[in-house]
Structure 1
Amino acid sequence: MSKVNILSLLAKKQSQQKFAVVTCYDASFAKLVENAGIDAILVGDSLGMVLQGHDSTLPVTIADMAYHTACVSRGCNRPLIISDMPFGSYNTTTQCLDNATTLMRAGAQMVKLEGGDWLCESIRQLNHAGIPVCGHLGLTPQSVNVLGGYRIQGRDDNQAQAILKDALALEAAGAALLVLECVPRKLAAEISHALKIPVIGIGAGNETDAQVLVLHDLLGVTEKTARFVRNFAEGSSSIADALGRYNDAVADASFPADEHSFD
């Protein structure tokens, strides 16, 4: 199968074909993800919690991200590899470009940034430098202390309109993908229909163009998971089978179901 890129994912949105994304942090699991037919891997700063044992993503460094990005890139060929820019690594456009370059050299094919329209200049600079960008709005875990915890975002009209405005601004600045985390499904649907770029949901209902889950969550490794998580290891014969079932459930829109979504 041919290598996944931003144009092939855009074509899926245009033809209304949903696609799956999963976090991954090493070569062995990257190969399993690839064999399951999953289109994109997010080397997530969630590694701070599921691998390093921290209670948030904040302690993760750019060196951590580069190391795990390199591990993933050696384990697969087909999926698009997206790497998280960790907390404090993109506070200025110069810092952002330098650190994104580090991740691209490690094997990323796109970087992900959390935040709204304040990132637009950095996104433009990254695009000029040949670095594709995935935005991230809604619940942004790096801002957990500002948000007051892991809470649903966009439930009141003003906040919902602010998220929509930010989404449009990020797209206009050159973002090629957008993650929406923990927002009401009605808002996620509105944003998905308003944007030309693919929107990846997590806790955002099933009208987004794609879904992403943390690997350890969908395999039932995480002891306590969020409402939007489904344990695909239950009833599966192997890790490979669980990943394949996840990919199929996203493709046929059976996941996420109502119980995994927020109103």
Structure 2
Amino acid sequence: MSVSAATRAITPQGIVARKGGAPLACLTAYTTPMARLVDRHCDLVLVGDSVGMVLHGLPSTLGVTMEMMILHGQAVRRGLDRALMVIDLPFGAYEEGPQQAFRNAARLMAETGAGAVKLEGGAAMVETVGFLTARGIPVMAHLGLTPQAVNVLGGYKVQGRGEDGERIAADAAAIADAGAFALVLEKVPQDLARRITAEIAIPTIGIGASAACDGQILVIDDMLGLFADFQPKFVRRYAELGRDADAAIAAYAADVRAGRFPAPEHAFGDAPAPRSTGSDAG
């Protein structure tokens, strides 16, 4: 889709400029039709590695590959006109060092048209964030519950309670200073989210981090009721599309088995007989 003056595409700089202003509305997307819907209403669309769980049936995000991210990133890009597209660097694609991160981030952006990448981690990622941003790759950071580190964290638990909050606050300051344009805070206490939001100059995007953040993001399949394996406390279901789809599929199967579908109006008639030309040579 072309970008007109009325629908000028949002940039990372535009996201930074929203710090302390009207809250940023963000959602994930993995397909072109869903991206088109999200683009009409949201400021930022994340092609998240959560795609591995909600669309591919993986038990965690750890099995997501670069090829999967590129495939879904390309699909989402086709559906966007206005929202900033950010794409996750999958597990194992950046932790080795800045050079590895640059190669894979550059590939993701070149092959998908994303406007930025997202990576997880604090102090250990400061050098990488600086390396990427110095070379033209905008970075969104992610702290708190970092799903790619679920095995180290011991599960999908709230992070930053008590003294551990100091670690996350220090990581947030360091990541912001390194050049990240925004920071996702996942599953951290409200007071910590409020403190970090006040202390850093870049927007915070909360997911299970309360309204104290500069914006919010949810996995779209969670908020639409399409992914029902579990429902985190921080998710509000805005629809129950999974339940509705189940009822629709059941009705279709019943109609097929009962001979009610397809009905006559869904069928095509025989081809009409060719008209006579009246050209007999008598």
Q: TM-score, normalised by structure 2?
A: 0.80
1:54 aligns with 2:58: yes
Quick one: which of 124, 136, 139 aligns to 2:145? 139
1:188 aligns with 2:171: no
Give the Cα separation in 2 of the matches to 1:51 and 1:6. 27
For 1:259, the equivalent position in structure 2 comes to: none
For 1:166, the equivalent position in structure 2 comes to: 171
1:202 aligns with 2:199: no
Give the Cα separation in 1 of the matches to 2:104 and 2:67. 9
Q: How many residues align?
A: 233
Q: CA deviation at 1:108?
A: 1.1
Q: CA deviation at 1:124?
A: 1.2
The alignment partner of 1:20 has SS state of strand
Q: CA deviation at 1:187?
A: 0.2
**Which amino acid in the other structure matches residue 138 of structure 1?**
G
The alignment partner of 1:231 has SS state of coil
Quick one: which of 90, 98, 110 aligns to 2:116? 110
Quick one: which of 7, 17, 25 aligns to 1:11? 17
1:154 aligns with 2:160: yes
Q: Is the 8 A contact 2:42 2:83 kept in 1?
A: yes
**Which amino acid in the other structure matches residue 116 of structure 1?**
G
Matches for 1:1-263 after TM superposition, within 5 Å: 1-14=7-20, 16-35=21-40, 37-91=41-95, 92-105=97-110, 106-157=112-163, 159-223=164-228, 224-233=230-239
Give the Cα separation in 2 of the matches to 1:6 and 1:140. 22
Greater relative contact order: 1 or 2 (C-alpha under 8 angstroms, separation 6 or more)? Answer: 1
Identity of aligned residues (%): 46
Give the Cα separation in 2 of the matches to 1:104 and 1:117. 24
Give the Cα separation in 2 of the matches to 1:52 and 1:234. 20
The alignment partner of 1:42 has SS state of strand
Give the Cα separation in 1 of the matches to 2:179 and 2:141. 10
**Which amino acid in the other structure matches residue 160 of structure 2?**
G
Q: Is the 8 A contact 2:184 2:204 kept in 1?
A: yes
Q: Is the 8 A contact 2:133 2:179 kept in 1?
A: yes
For 1:244, the equivalent position in structure 2 comes to: none
**Which amino acid in the other structure matches residue 6 of structure 1?**
P
Identify unmatched segments of 5+ residues in structure 1.
Answer: 239-263
Q: Is the 8 A contact 2:186 2:206 kept in 1?
A: yes
Give the Cα separation in 2 of the matches to 1:62 and 1:163. 28
The alignment partner of 1:45 has SS state of coil
Report Cα offsets for 1:79-102 as digits up to 9, x if no partner: 000000110000211110000011
Give the Cα separation in 1 of the matches to 2:185 and 2:202. 13
Identify unmatched segments of 5+ residues in structure 2.
Answer: 1-6, 245-282
For 1:243, the equivalent position in structure 2 comes to: none
